[in-house]
Amino acid sequence: MIEETHKRGMEFHAWLNPYRAVQTIGKSSIAADHITKRKPEWFLVYGDKKYFDPGNKDAQQFVVNVVRDIVKRYPVDAIHMDDYFYPYRIAGKEFPDAASYARSGSTLNKEDWRRSNVDSIILAISKAIKEEKKQVRFGISPFSVWRNQDKDPRGSDSRAGQTNYDDLYADILLWLQKGWIDYVTPQLYLEIGHDKIAYEKLLDWWSKNAYGKHVYIGHGIYRVDEKTSVKWKNPAELPNQLKLLRQNPNVQGSIYFSSKSFDKNPNGWNDSLQNNYYKYPALVPPMDWISKEKPATPVVSRVAKKGDEISFSVKSSHTGKVPTKYYVIYRFPAGRSIATLINQPSTIFSIVVKPNGFEQVLQQREEGKAYQYYITSVGTNNIESEPVPITTVVKE
């Protein structure tokens, strides 16, 4: 999967649920040597699921070791954790960690102790990732609401029944503030104007509470299949969400849950996204707190002209500290200044995922219009090199 992803110039973010060990007790397929059988004392049963006990330090270390192993042995671009920390509350049932709390001897109250358990594993995972490979990112995909404003003045204008901080014991803001995570993907799965958790209000709140890290909004397109989700039946719902998102400079993109929903082209969204909102290619935004270093500029050689065609070869100079991930070819009308056009997605002619180099033929003139071409390298840290001209300007 990683190989096929990288062939296409995409990133592979390994998605994990940190604490859920058995999805449905008695039904899920469990190996004979599964960790729940080898270390039963590490686990707690809540509802029909079995969870790692977040207060058990050995269980925490096991999860950290799994993450370290993934980062060490596989060329993943990020570790991405879902919203399941302490589980969502089941009405009338308390999470069965009283014995673990008593054993801890903690002077914290139980809720703060639970939050400290989650904080400690997030910090340990963050350190493990960066110790193995500094450039690998760490992201969290939390439930939409950190805290309601009626509980905390820093909270959002929302009325969520359960929240990250008070029920899942996940203090996302602390992790962003401390720099333990690199991006957050809040699951804003409800619609614009929702009476309790309105998309537009939460979009604004997360954009103002990212502490300089990246925000990718999670869109709940699966809700189009829910009979009760009337507003998601409106073809304009998703486009309107994207319009609001793109007006906000502190938000870097979107993530959709889930890809299965696109199989049916709901509300014609496959078409509207491809033909309108994602008409042009986009480069992954770099995280300059991880690395500010630009990759070496591509080396363009063997340029030859034949009529309106220009052929050339590109190779990596291999002089930079940051390896090249792919090349970006830009095309501009002849005579136009590159300074105003280089960062326009509409001027990206192609993205070539051949890090060691390639050969190509381009048309300098098409349908009576003359063009100039430039090329850049994009490094594994998603920072772009300075542009290099492929050809001189051809006059009209």
Alpha-helical (H) ranges within 74-198 are 98-104, 110-132, 172-178
Grouping H, G, I as helix, E, B as strand and the rest as coil, residue 327 is strand
Q: Tell me how crowded residue 229 is: count the other CB atoms within 10 A of its CB.
A: 17
CA-wise closest residue to 301 among 292, 288, 310:
310
Distances in Å between the alpha carbon of 76 and those of 67, 137, 306?
Answer: 11, 9, 43
Cα separation, 252 vs 124, in Å, equals: 26
Match 């409106």 to its residue by tokens: 234
- Cis omega (within 30 of 0) on the bond before 316? no
What per-residue confidence (pLDDT) applies to 396?
Answer: 40
Residue type, 70: I
C-alpha 184/C-alpha 189 separation (Å) is 15
Count Cβ atoms below 10 Å from residue 306 Cβ, excluding itself.
8
Lookup result for tokens 């095309």: 331
* Alpha-carbon dihedral 116, 119, 120, 125, rounded to 10 degrees: 160
Query: What whole-number distance in Å separates Cα of residue 80 and Cα of residue 182?
Result: 10
- pLDDT averaged per 10 residues, the chain (length 396): 95 94 95 96 98 97 98 98 94 97 97 98 98 97 98 98 97 98 98 98 98 98 94 97 96 95 96 96 94 93 86 83 93 85 88 94 92 94 93 49
- 46: CB partners within 8 A, 6+ apart: 87, 90, 93, 95, 96
Q: Which residue spans within the chain are E strands per DSSP?
A: 13-16, 20-22, 43-46, 49-52, 78-81, 137-140, 183-184, 187-188, 214-219, 253-256, 299-306, 309-315, 324-333, 348-352, 358-363, 365-366, 369-379, 388-389
pLDDT at 392: 52
Nearest Cα neighbor of 294 from 353, 357, 352, 377 is 377
Write phi, then psi, for 276 (nearest 5 degrees): -130, -75
Judge if pTM exceeds 0.85. Answer: yes
Cα–Cα distance measured from residue 359 to residue 99, given in angstroms and rounded to the nearest whole number: 66
Q: What is the pLDDT of residue 340?
A: 75
The answer, yes or no, to whether the previous bond of 104 is cis (omega within 30 of 0) is: no
Domains of the chain: 2-277 (3.20.20.80), 299-389 (2.60.40.10)
Look at phi and psi of residue 26 and say left if phi exceeds 0, alpha if psi is from -120 to 50, else beta.
Answer: left
In DSSP terms, 374 is beta-bridged to 330, 389
